[in-house]
Amino acid sequence: MLFAFIQGPLFRLLAIGVLLLALQNTLFVELRPAGVVVQVLLALAAAAGAAGGADRGALAGFVLGLLFDLGSDSPIGASALTMALGGIVAGIAWSIMVDPPWWLAGIFTMIGAAAGEAAVPLVRVFIGESVRFDSELSTVVLVVAVAAGVLSPIFVPLARWCLRLRRAEWKVPVA
């Protein structure tokens, strides 16, 4: 059972997620294009959606979001929810075209990351926190989305490896 877990997608996702979280907390909190923190875990969740569909994107987003919440001050489950939404949106975009070229997968990743980041203030409002909806929010969403698009050539194959997606599965989603 342990061997199956280690060989399974969840273990790979957790391992990569923990590594990315360490980089998020040390490197990406400092590299702030336009003053915005690039969300690498969200980018990977969206890439998982763009690579494997909405359900896999949701699963990856949930796991990575939980890691993010555990490693930060945000309420546990809040980022799991937003990153799962990001993965789902990227996966829905993916469903319009199976086996998209790398650049289209990048666009799907961007859309998913934008949706996930835009959902953060909504969730915060939902849990009773005050959030300002202004032009700065659009800057944040834009930068996070573009960064996810830039990272997608690396993250989409990485997500395929994490989720153990094989070539045949990319083309036709198994019902």
Q: Is the dihedral of CA 125, 129, 133, 138 positive or negative?
A: negative
Within its chain, how far is the Cα of 86 from the centroid? 6
Binding residue (CB under 8 A) for another protein from 6, 27, 97, 154 = 27
C-alpha torsion angle, residues 128, 88, 137, 64 (rounded to 10): 70
Binding of another protein at residue 101 (CB under 8 A)?
Answer: no
The region of 103-111, 115-123, 145-153, 161-169 touching another protein under the rule CB under 8 A is 115-123
Q: Does 97 bind another protein (CB under 8 A)?
A: no
Is 92 an interacting residue with respect to another protein (CB under 8 A)?
yes
Q: Using the rule CB under 8 A, is 71 a contact of another protein? A: yes
Q: Cβ distance 69 to 90 under 8 Å? A: no
**Cα(165)–Cα(53) distance, rounded to whole angstroms?**
11
Please give the helix or strand (H or E) that residue 137 lies within, else none: helix 135-162
126 Cα distance to chain centroid: 21
Nearest distance, CB of residue 89 and another protein, angstroms? 11
Q: Does 122 participate in binding another protein (rule CB under 8 A)?
A: no
Give how far Cα 115 sits from Cα of 9, 19, 64, 82, Å: 24, 24, 16, 8
Q: Binding segment for another protein among 2-10, 56-64, 146-154, 158-166 (CB under 8 A)?
A: 56-64
**Of residues 93 and 156, the one with the C-beta less far from another protein:** 93
Chain residues in the site for another protein (CB under 8 A): 18-19, 21-31, 35-37, 39, 53-55, 58-59, 62, 65-66, 68-81, 84-85, 88, 92, 95, 117, 120-121, 123-124, 127-132, 136, 140, 144, 173, 175
